[in-house]
A = this chain, B = another copy of it.
Amino acid sequence: MTQLFTLHPQLEKDTHCLFDNESYFILLHKNATIPWIIIVPKTHQIEIFELSDEEQRVINTLTQSIAQVFRQEFSSEKMNIAAIGNIVPQLHLHVIGRKSGDACWPGVVWGANYPDSVYTLEQINHLRAALSKINDNIL
């Protein structure tokens, strides 16, 4: 991973930054209708298998830890976890908390049109606090 790293403008536009450390960004999708976190490891590789074993371990641990916090915070019934990157090639992982009957259910969120809603600053800060505990444990 590298110090010289610029977040892809589409990811910057679509998200609130929850954490930005030397190894990764943790971003919250601005549309609060479906809870959606995006992890961006600070690497120029585009596939997970191109990362070192240790980088993969950190990303996998982070992804699954966030999924667990999401289930607690949003009572998510099913986590959707994915690395896609067809449109934004910069390596990023989606962690999305889904519920039966949500705005896209049972379809996927990618490419779907669904209503917009916004997080309050209080909600963002609450989520940052909930995630900070796992973040401290990983690095």
Q: Number of copies of this chain in the oligomer?
A: 2
In the bound complex, residues from chain B placing their C-beta under 8 Å from that of A83 are 79-82
| Contact, CB under 8 Å: B85 / A82 | no
| Contact, CB under 8 Å: A98 / B86 | yes
In the bound complex, residues from chain B placing their C-beta under 8 Å from that of A71 are 47
Chain B nearest CB, measured from A138 CB (Å): 14
In the bound complex, residues from chain B placing their C-beta under 8 Å from that of A82 are 80-84
- Summarize A's interface: helix, strand, loop or mixed: mixed
In the bound complex, residues from chain B placing their C-beta under 8 Å from that of A84 are 78, 80-82, 108
Chain B nearest CB, measured from A82 CB (Å): 4
Given A80-B83, A87-B106, 10 extra CB contacts under 8 A: A48-B67, A49-B64, A49-B79, A56-B64, A78-B85, A78-B86, A78-B89, A80-B85, A86-B105, A86-B106
30 contacts between A and B (CB under 8 A): A46-B78, A47-B67, A47-B71, A47-B78, A47-B79, A48-B79, A48-B81, A49-B64, A49-B65, A56-B60, A56-B64, A60-B60, A78-B85, A78-B86, A79-B83, A80-B83, A80-B86, A81-B82, A81-B83, A81-B84, A82-B82, A82-B83, A84-B108, A86-B105, A86-B106, A86-B107, A87-B106, A107-B111, A108-B108, A108-B111
